Amino acid sequence: MNITVNGQARSVAPGSVTADIITNGSDDLWLLNGFAVDGATPLKEGDALLRVSRTEAPDEATYDAVWNARYGKTIYNKLKSSHIPICGAGGLGSHIAISLARLGIGELTIIDKDVVDITNLGRQAYEMTDLGKPKVVALKDILHRINPFIKVNAVHTTINSSNFDNYLKGFPYIIEAFDSAENKAELTSYVLTHYPATTLIGASGVSGYDHPNTVQTKELFSRYYQTGDGHSESTLGLLAPRVMLCAAHEATMLLHLLLTQKE
């Protein structure tokens, strides 16, 4: 029976259990196909056994091996090879970026003009120690603490129709995570009329404290998905749970499309 141990092929006797391999008595964490195991789990053909430190950060190959084992190579390769632009790093964008970093998306380009202030901490991913930093810089640090191997292009600038092409041209998917209604409409119009091969995922109506099930994600136009309730304005108050719910909708919509759309 053939298995792999930290990526190396190994032949083991039929009926072997994990304890036959895990014999060193170390404190390391052992993962069978990505999930922690104790010593007596039966092995089967093709199993991937991984030994990782419980305390030290892994190198990139080990990090990738964990997620390859959990998700399967096809899915993880798709995530790792994706480069996603996120327009806005506020309540939506910061939480979307964190979701995508945890998924193992290979590269993000995050574009935002703001610096972190106290009012942002009520719903955005930033911390008190980030006050005064450009959001994209603070966010890049947060993302690298979660996943040191994600490539993050932090772009601290204003984008609009005059320079969208500098940052957004040629991507299969773009995330709209702006705050202002005008910016949302301008980006959406531009992407749908200038980038015929791009799918845009955006949001409108992410405020307030209405019932959570009023948040939906709909394909409003061909190649345009919008999440939110469509009407709750920021004057209702932008509150962490609902903004994070909408961010999760956008990230989930992207994940769904990445893993189900034919190239």
- Nearest to other proteins of 52, 239 (CB atom): 239
Residue 107 binds other proteins, judged by CB under 8 A: no
Residue 199 binds other proteins, judged by CB under 8 A: no
Beta strands in 19-167 (DSSP E): 29-32, 35-36, 48-52, 83-87, 107-112, 151-156
Give how far Cα 196 sits from Cα of 169, 187, 263, Å: 10, 14, 14
Least CB distance from residue 224 to other proteins, whole Å?
A: 8
216 sits in which H/E element: strand 216-221
Of 193, 182, 250, residue with least CA distance to 223:
193
Of 78, 65, 61, 82, residue with least CA distance to 30:
65
Residues in 149-168 at the binding interface with other proteins, rule: CB under 8 A: 161
Task: State the DSSP string of 76-90.
Answer: HHHHHT-EEEEE--S
Residue 100 binds other proteins, judged by CB under 8 A: no
- Nearest to other proteins of 11, 162 (CB atom): 162
Q: Which stretch binds other proteins (CB under 8 A): 26-34, 52-60, 101-109, 183-191?
A: 183-191
Residue 85 binds other proteins, judged by CB under 8 A: no
The conformation of residue 118, written as its DSSP 8-state character, comes to G
- Nearest to other proteins of 24, 162 (CB atom): 162
Backbone φ and ψ for 112, nearest 5 degrees, come out as: -160, 145
Residue 177 binds other proteins, judged by CB under 8 A: yes
Q: Which stretch binds other proteins (CB under 8 A): 20-28, 35-43, 162-170, 225-233?
A: 225-233
Interaction site with other proteins (CB under 8 A): 88, 90-93, 161, 177-182, 184-186, 188-190, 192-193, 203-207, 220-222, 224, 226, 230-234, 238, 243, 246
